[in-house]
Each structure stands twice: as structure tokens, then as C-alpha cells.
């Protein structure tokens, strides 16, 4: 009987590991109707020792909100697409129980891909422990082949 429960438990665990990765819906802001190849793509890929970035809102150069609470994916095919231009990104950086709220102005160029990365800056605390001092947002252009 206990072997049977073990096998059922193992199957449940293996099934959970095989579930597809959660992705937010990819959004497109393209009022001019440009071809998809001409649009810029923005993703949020977490690296080692980085916080997870999530897009809270995006505003165009006329200060009009074009996206709200859209989250972010870490793969280009599921990124958010924008026509070229200047945008203000409102980004939330998540790390354990810490959240940082940042904004950045980006000039998105045609057919280029960008990665938003929240970088933690640590300092040594009173007892020698590493503490988060601040968080900064880096915008990295993704070169073809990377």
C-alpha cells in the first residue's frame, strides 16, 4: 500500500514539473500599422544575482499611457512589441520580500530588441550580512545571436 502511495506521489510531482512555463500575454503597441519586423521588442530576463522585473506601465512621448500592468516575459517571441519612439517605462523590481519601483525613458529603435534588468546593489550590514542597499534598472540591447 505504501509503495502505491509513493508511486502516485512521484507521478504527481513529475506531472507538476512538466507544466508549461507561465507567460503573460504579449502586447503590441503599433498605431501606425508598421510591419512586425520593424517593431522593437522588450523583454525582462532575470540574470544571476538580479531581481525580477515587471512592467507596470508604459507611456509614449505624448504622455499617454499605452500599456498598463502588463508584466513581462523573458523570451523574445513572447516580448512586448512597440513601434519605434520614445517611451517612459514604469518597472517594478521584485526580490524575495523587497520591491523597488523605477522609471526609465527609452528610445526604442526599429527592429531592435531590449532587455530590462533590475540589478541589486548590496552593502555589508552591521553584523557582516549582505543587505540590499538599492536597485537600479539596466536597459540592454539584445544583439542578434544572443
- Return the pLDDT at 20: 45
- What gap in Å lies between CA 21 and CA 6, rounded to an integer? 26
Per-residue pLDDT of the chain (146 residues; tens, 9 = 90+): 666 665 565 555 545 444 444 566 778 899 999 999 999 999 988 766 678 888 999 999 999 999 988 888 878 788 899 999 999 999 998 888 788 899 999 999 999 999 999 888 776 667 777 666 778 888 889 987 66
**Among the listed residues 137, 83, 92, the one whose alpha carbon sits nearest the alpha carbon of residue 112:** 83
pLDDT at 33: 92
Cell (9 digits) for 8: 502516485
Sign of CA dihedral 30, 21, 68, 121: negative
Task: Report domain extents, the chain.
Answer: 25-142
Q: What is the pTM assigned to this prediction?
A: 0.76
Residue of 145, 146, 141 whose CA lies nearest to 43: 141
Amino acid at each position: 500500500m505504501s509503495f502505491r502511495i509513493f508511486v502516485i506521489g512521484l507521478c504527481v510531482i513529475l506531472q507538476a514539473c512538466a507544466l508549461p512555463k507561465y507567460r503573460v500575454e504579449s502586447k503590441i503597441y503599433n498605431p501606425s500599422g508598421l510591419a512586425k519586423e520593424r517593431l522593437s521588442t522588450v523583454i525582462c530576463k532575470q540574470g544571476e544575482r538580479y531581481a525580477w522585473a515587471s512592467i507596470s506601465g508604459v507611456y509614449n512621448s505624448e504622455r499617454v499611457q499605452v500599456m498598463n500592468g502588463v508584466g513581462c516575459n523573458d523570451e523574445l517571441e513572447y516580448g512586448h512589441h512597440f513601434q519605434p519612439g520614445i517611451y517612459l517605462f514604469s518597472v517594478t523590481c521584485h526580490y524575495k520580500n523587497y520591491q523597488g519601483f523605477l522609471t526609465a525613458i527609452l528610445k526604442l529603435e526599429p527592429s531592435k530588441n531590449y532587455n530590462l534588468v533590475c540589478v541589486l546593489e548590496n552593502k555589508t550590514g552591521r553584523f557582516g550580512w549582505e543587505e540590499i542597499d538599492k536597485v537600479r534598472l539596466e536597459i540592454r540591447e539584445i544583439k542578434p545571436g544572443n
